[in-house]
Structure 1
Amino acid sequence: MKLAWGIYLAGASYPKDARIEAEVTRRIAPVFGRWTSQQSLLDEASGSRFEGNPGRRLAGLSRVVPYDAAARGLVLLGRSSGGRVATVFAGLRPVSAVICLGYPFRHPTGPREPERFAHLAHMTTPTLILQGRSDVYGGASLRQDYPLSDRVRLEFLDCGHEFQLDPQGWDRVGDRILSFLAALQR
């Protein structure tokens, strides 16, 4: 698989979490022939402001991504709710891989919502979820609480949902993502 195109999907708090996109972009974007930021995706998809609604975000992504995206080496990188959008999209249309940073398995103050996670048990797309051990949207107890497909790799980081990491921590995140992508190319 050639890494031709990476698309970054921000969390619902975009642009507040733009620093996370900047850290990921700095470390990951150079391996792709084409990189689409959250703002570029908005510009291409609709030219409108960011909306956190997953349905609208899926529709916007569908307008931008061609049906043969997997053949084109498309990788979706999603932060929080952007990871939810990326994984749902990968269940509807084939992509080469999905990478999630801080997946929102559950709302910290709400009831269990299976629409957030049930599809992860049936994922066929290679998926890497990097999750904070103390993430309020799902931390270290995830393995026993949520069924995941064998195509989903879950790795924990020493952080919370906001991914407050020092530069070395971001380097480790970049290394984990690059290792995951390199393994797919073998």
Structure 2
Amino acid sequence: MARNPERRAALLDAAIEVLADEGARGLTFRAVDARAGVPTGTSSNYFTDRDQLLSQVADRIYVRLTPEDDSLAVALSPEPSRALVVELMKWLARRMAAERSCYLGLFELRLEATRRPELRTQLTKVFRAVLDQNIQGHLAAGLPGDAETVRLLYMALTGLFLDHFTVPGLHADRDLDALIETAVTRIVPEA
């Protein structure tokens, strides 16, 4: 198996784009190679099979979605409050929009996980680690609410982002920032 980490990352990034544009059924080694602009057969030198590719795509998406430590520190620098949580969730939405392919790729992976138990296990592990990290970060930052608050925010905003990225006209009478503010205000207690 090939060991060029930059090439592996480029292939995974290409796989994310294929997932976002063509769905899980369109994710083939040939499609990844074409999107990455590499010779046919390159992906098969890096991934033993499609399951391994799917699993590593999930990990790569979270690498791309994880903010730099310094940008997170800046975002968390104001006094902990419900208003800060609103701003953090709006910041998260902007990050998701900037990495739209990653977010759509995650939706595709979730659907594919319903048919692939190994992928479901991997995604559960990755999602649980991210959720646990978010809970710990929320509590450590002294933001209002508890672990259950973070779980409720996760569930509400996951659904909101799903609508926003897949059927944006559904809430056409309200912009995303207003919807985020409503969700946070109703879920997060006053500090």
Higher Cα Rg: structure 1 or 2? 2
Q: What's the TM-score, normalizing by structure 2?
A: 0.33
Question: Which of the pair has the greater relative contact order for Cα pairs under 8 Å at 6+ separation?
Answer: 2
Give the structure with the higher percent strand: 1
Give the structure with the higher percent helix: 2
Q: What's the TM-score, normalizing by structure 1?
A: 0.33
